[in-house]
Structure 1
Amino acid sequence: MRWTIKPKPNRQDIDCLMRELNVDEIIATLLIQRGVKNFEEAKMFFRPSLTHLHDPFLMKDMDKAVERIEHAIKQGENILIYGDYDVDGTTAVSLMYSYFLSFYPNVATYIPDRYEEGYGISFQGIDFAHDNEFSLIIALDCGIKAVDKVLYAKEKGIDFIICDHHRPGKNIPEAIAVLDPKQDDCSYPYDELCGCGVGFKLIQALSAKNGQTIEDLIPYLDLVATAIASDIVPITGENRILAFYGLQVINSQPRTGIAAITKPLKKKLTITDVVFIIAPRINAAGRMKHGQHAVRLLTETNVNTAVKFAEEIEEFNSDRKNLDQLITNEALQQILDNKEEEKYTTVVYNQKWHKGVIGIVASRLTETYYRPTLVFTKSGEKLAASARSVKGFDVYNAIEACADVIEQFGGHKYAAGLTLREEKYEDFKQKFEAVVSSSIDKNLLTPEVMIDAEIDFEQITPRLYRILKQFAPFGPGNMTPVFMTNNLHDTGYGRGVGEGEKHLKVTVIHNLSNPIGGIGFNLGNKLPLVKDKKPFSAVYTLEENEWNGNVSLQLKIKDIR
């Protein structure tokens, strides 16, 4: 790992904030690194308020979207809520559908089949709408590039409202309204919303016109927080506020479907728990079977039925785990067989690989070789791929540079998808390698750990940890604070633990401090560095460890030198 210590803020700013907030230097430093420079900003950071959400009508086309929906309701039109099959899409559809159902019955949901229709708006979906007399489609987490599909719908007398957060192409679809804060001509103050977040802004606008307040929408925020966590958008600005209140809903009064997933857990859930417990299960429906299963679970109000749906989804998730492990092993073997370990990119293909898990496999390969990665499989007559990137490298731009050999593509800086004709696979593979090798900063091919501050163990106190906990929810843009301490010594009990002793367990002292326990997951190979009380440096976060009813602080070690 590359260890990068963040620049220390201006001394004057640190002293000023320490006085204003009556906090120590570490807290003041961490806050300034997160853009918090005075008492008012600190108040907003530690006490997020729904009153700080932006006016939804600041978003381009919001007035047109609300006007068209109001007209549809007045005329008794059938409205189809259409969304992508991943967590962001299915939570967005569940959000919009359950909101409409609270006052208007003529609504239905549609999630495209990952295998038959692929990502985004499909001709098949529009035909379904036409056959079933839907005259308005609200598309969520997709649609910003569906120029031809929206035109096709128009010919069939169907209007579109698009709620998306992906990067627009050169042409914007001719929909009634296009809500996407990433449009160049949209002056909305915050452009990092997820698809479900954009959908929430639409219901916020609709509810304001209906005389409701933002408090009336709090019950929907468990869905928004789940989407924010799973789509890995920055937890800053509006996302931080929505995630903060959404987590409160998840932990106090979650909807029946989310409660059915989290019921076995007897603890307060964090954003990390949402990422690793709730999101994979919701995602598994679209990966292994159909995204509509996730919508059924998230909109169900009967407890017993929700529990059945949750058990079904648990099975999908179990199947998904087995499959992604199998395919990951096959992909790693393919890299070795083709002697491609030294390349700047990973591009692998097998026509039998399950399309539902290639995104997860791409993430696993990126963890192993740490370079921009694409995993291809056969999808109908074409090949489909999921792309993942390394921190600091824009894989979307790299794919765009290969546009002449691609059928279609879309996504974000770190995750994207594409389709191409099979005969173009080798051309793409060579071109993608050439683009990445000529444009990537070679330092980015080594994982980086960003260090917030260098501290001594004397500074680690229960008060420090209590304040750090209030920095949550954590995520991109507000990661868990990472510390570094030099000249550490293990007390002599350092050992490998877990299966194959792949984890490192230590008890560490620094200068004259009391010993602190530490755990380093997948750092068992670093044991020789700490043996015989040799001095070492560690990068770590702080966490609570509960053992036999006793709670103590411990180091969660990220790396050792």
Structure 2
Amino acid sequence: MHKIWQSIYRANYISGYNPFLLKNMNKALERVVKAINEREKIVIYGSCDVDGICGISLLLLVLKYLNADVEYYLPEEQSSNYYVDSDIITNHIKFLGTALVITVGCSLVDKEQEDLCRNLNIDVIVTDYKNDLYKSEFITINPNQKDCSYRYKNLSASGVAFKLTQALAIYYNMKSINKYIDLVLLGGYAAKVSIVGENKVIFKEALKYLNVTNNYGLRALMNLNIKDNYSEREIKELIKVLTPTVNVVGRMDNARIVVELLTTNDEYRAEQIAKYLAMEVKNIVS
């Protein structure tokens, strides 16, 4: 374990910010590992903003790499963006044969919803960062929850998801986990988190990874702009393209196709999606 720790957290790499200092991280790791090893269905449930989408994409990429049986769900209604929807659990997630839901930037609503999940034999791991949320008895990873000793409280949704993937990387001896921090960079910028503490370290490293990214979707978007190096201004342009639009009835458009862009391993498909999203932004502006 010591060698694994050193390979991921040496000082000149991503940092020594121990994910296991987050309350309940050990419990979360144990539950996710069980789901992976026993081929239980995992569903990632996230918010439809760029931060949530980046966190979903990050978890999808890592869990698929670990050969997990994993899917994701994004609520279509703008109003349900930051809370788990009971109707979605009953009418969609249940029928996938789901054993474990991992949220990204959204939480359970109340005890009734918690009981619903238990009655359906669905475990939940909540990853979030917001204050004053319903305190579920399910596993919760949130730097702002009571009795969490983690020093850096201003992580974004994708940042908290990244901490979970760091724990998985330690357990499974994944030495390349930091290549995904370009997604955390985009999510954090979109969420407008303060760039101090751990965020400052992540963002500094992520800029290096972004400019040489092997993410087909990000590379396709960057190729459209033909930039040699990406600074804050160019990152904002990327975020603009990745932001799902809201139609007249308050439903989110393009959110799922953005997840596909960020997780595809098909270079041609990435190029087509990037062109489509860029055109959508151009049409909105014009």
TM-score category (smaller protein): 0.7 to 0.9
Give the match for residue 44 of structure 2. Answer: 81
Give the match for residue 268 of structure 1. Answer: 229
Give the match for residue 265 of structure 2. Answer: 301
User: Is the contact made by 2:42 and 2:68 (CA closer than 8 Å) also made in structure 1?
Assistant: no
Change (3 A) 1:106 1:286: farther
TM-score, L = length of structure 2? 0.88
Partner Cα distance (2:201, 2:163) in 1: 13
Q: Does residue 115 of structure 2 align to residue 140 of structure 1?
A: no
Change (3 A) 1:320 1:254: farther
Partner Cα distance (1:254, 1:271) in 2: 20
How far apart are 1:168 and its partner, in Å? 2.6
Equivalent position SS for 2:121: coil
Q: Which has the larger radius of gyration?
A: 1
User: Is the contact made by 1:257 and 1:300 (CA closer than 8 Å) also made in structure 2?
Assistant: yes
Change (3 A) 1:124 1:230: same
How far apart are 1:236 and its partner, in Å? 1.1
Question: Tell me, which stretches of 5 or more residues in structure 1 are unaligned?
Answer: 1-47, 323-561
Q: Does residue 168 of structure 2 align to residue 225 of structure 1?
A: no
User: Is the contact made by 1:113 and 1:290 (CA closer than 8 Å) also made in structure 2?
Assistant: no
Identity over aligned residues, as a percent?
27
How far apart are 1:116 and its partner, in Å? 7.8
How far apart are 1:285 and its partner, in Å? 5.1
How far apart are 1:318 and its partner, in Å? 3.0
User: Is the contact made by 1:256 and 1:300 (CA closer than 8 Å) also made in structure 2?
Assistant: yes
Letter in 1 for 2:228: K
Partner Cα distance (2:108, 2:205) in 1: 28
Letter in 2 for 1:258: L
Deviations 1:310-365 (A, max 9, x none): 1221233234435xxxxxxxxxxxxxxxxxxxxxxxxxxxxxxxxxxxxxxxxxxx
How far apart are 1:53 and its partner, in Å? 3.2
Q: Does residue 163 of structure 2 align to residue 201 of structure 1?
A: yes
Give the match for residue 121 of structure 1. Answer: 84
Letter in 1 for 2:127: C
Map 1:43-82 to 2 at 5 A: 49-50=12-13, 52-82=15-45
User: Is the contact made by 2:43 and 2:73 (CA closer than 8 Å) also made in structure 1?
Assistant: yes
How far apart are 1:183 and its partner, in Å? 1.1
User: Is the contact made by 1:284 and 1:320 (CA closer than 8 Å) also made in structure 2?
Assistant: no
Of Structure 1 and Structure 2, the greater strand share is in: 1
User: Is the contact made by 2:35 and 2:68 (CA closer than 8 Å) also made in structure 1?
Assistant: no
Give the match for residue 278 of structure 1. Answer: 238
Deviations 1:184-241 (A, max 9, x none): 311111111100000000010111111234xx11210110111111111011111111
Aligned counterpart for 2:56 among listed residues 93, 99, 102 = 93
Give the match for residue 238 of structure 1. Answer: 198
Question: Tell me, which stretches of 5 or more residues in structure 2 are unaligned?
Answer: 1-10
Partner Cα distance (1:118, 1:211) in 2: 34
Which of 1 and 2 has higher RCO (CA within 8 Å, sep 6+)? 2
Partner Cα distance (1:149, 1:292) in 2: 25
Partner Cα distance (1:254, 1:76) in 2: 28
User: Is the contact made by 1:289 and 1:316 (CA closer than 8 Å) also made in structure 2?
Assistant: no
Letter in 2 for 1:52: S
User: Is the contact made by 1:144 and 1:166 (CA closer than 8 Å) also made in structure 2?
Assistant: no
Map 1:143-542 to 2 at 5 A: 143=107, 145=109, 147-169=111-133, 171-175=134-138, 177-213=139-175, 216-263=176-223, 264-275=225-236, 277-284=237-244, 289-321=253-285
How far apart are 1:50 and its partner, in Å? 3.4
Partner Cα distance (1:279, 1:149) in 2: 33
Partner Cα distance (1:234, 1:120) in 2: 23
Equivalent position SS for 1:50: coil
Change (3 A) 1:178 1:318: same
Letter in 1 for 2:97: E
Give the match for residue 42 of structure 1. Answer: none
How far apart are 1:178 and its partner, in Å? 0.3
Aligned counterpart for 1:104 among listed residues 57, 67, 71 = 67
Partner Cα distance (2:271, 2:191) in 1: 25
How big is the alpha-carbon RMSD for the aligned residues of Structure 1 and Structure 2? Answer: 2.0
How far apart are 1:64 and its partner, in Å? 0.6
Partner Cα distance (2:94, 2:55) in 1: 22
How far apart are 1:281 and its partner, in Å? 1.2
Partner Cα distance (2:283, 2:84) in 1: 27
